[in-house]
Structure 1
Amino acid sequence: MLDSEESNPLPQGELSLQFPASISDTNSYGDIFGGWLVKHMDTAAAVHAGRLAHGRIATVSISQVEFLSPVLVGTLLSFYTRTVETGKSSMKIAVEVWAQCPDGTEFRKITEGLLVLVAINDEGHIRPLPTAYQRLGR
């Protein structure tokens, strides 16, 4: 998942979310909170996993989150997702967050992480993924 930027300087996966960082999402120094970014990484992974699961999903774990640089207000954030692996009911989704500076001069990776989500039914119990997605990526 954690490819070096030198070997692959472009985002991997599909664009799942995109919006600018706003002042309400910053700490007292004017930088975006890391937890705020993780919240939206979870949302992007849920969008991706919901498509695979054809329904309701739940996050099981978030790991390998690595922050590479701070984010300023006005930065356009793009959340890219890709399926790393699927199991009977689970999906391992890689999320990369890329930033376009407010002045448009720089496009860079901000953070990345690996999330595991599971398909659940209406009662909140784990259910199998559609057969076409089971064991994808192995």
Structure 2
Amino acid sequence: MADRDPAIRVTAMPADANAYGDIFGGWLMSLMDSGAGLVAARRAKGRAVTVAMDGVEFHRPVKVGDEVSVYCTMQKVGRTSMVIATDAYPRERHSEEEQLVTSARFTFVAVDDGGKPRAVDA
């Protein structure tokens, strides 16, 4: 994925892990949601909220100290919604090699100040 910039990049810390040193899946899903949310907000030019997450599958553990990069691709833009393909790639601290750990599709809806759906291109 070195040919494009991640939406977000974070180092996994001990507070994010279980007793075996593996990062909690919920922490990783939260990071992916944050990355996709940044992409959605830029596309919507304002607030966008997560309404669904599909297809999450964990392929291998993420360890404390791994640098996790989240890459996002806009797949579909509807009137008020956006679907964003999101992939997480950890790499060891002293390595350049990234390996896909999980993928998911996030659906966001653009909302106004009152929390009501609004047109993405408004």
TM-score over 0.5 for the pair: yes
SS of alignment partner, residue 103 of structure 1: coil
1:32 is matched with which residue: 23, 40, 45? 23
- Normalised by the size of structure 2, how large is the TM-score? 0.93
Matched, 1:68 2:59: yes
Q: Which residue of 2 aligns with 1:85?
A: 76
2:18 aligned partner, one-letter code: N
**Superposition RMSD in Å:** 1.6
In the TM superposition, residue 93 of structure 1 has moved relative to its aligned partner by 0.3
Q: Which residue of 1 aligns with 2:99?
A: 108
Verify the 8 A CA contact 1:75 1:102 in the aligned structure 2: yes
Matched, 1:52 2:50: no
> Residue deviations 1:24-53, cap 9 Å, x none?
000111100001100111111100000000
Distance 1:61 1:13 in 2: 25
Unaligned runs of 5+ in 2: none
Q: 1:12 to 1:96 in 2, by over 3 A?
A: farther
In the TM superposition, residue 13 of structure 1 has moved relative to its aligned partner by 6.6
Distance 1:11 1:53 in 2: 26
1:42 is matched with which residue: 33, 54, 63? 33
Q: Which residue of 2 aligns with 1:96?
A: 87
Unaligned runs of 5+ in 1: 1-9, 132-138
Q: 1:104 to 1:128 in 2, by over 3 A?
A: same
Verify the 8 A CA contact 1:97 1:110 in the aligned structure 2: yes
Distance 1:110 1:83 in 2: 20
In the TM superposition, residue 102 of structure 1 has moved relative to its aligned partner by 2.3
In the TM superposition, residue 80 of structure 1 has moved relative to its aligned partner by 0.4
SS of alignment partner, residue 99 of structure 2: strand
1:40 aligned partner, one-letter code: L
2:111 is matched with which residue: 102, 120, 127? 120
Distance 2:96 2:73 in 1: 26
Q: 1:12 to 1:94 in 2, by over 3 A?
A: farther
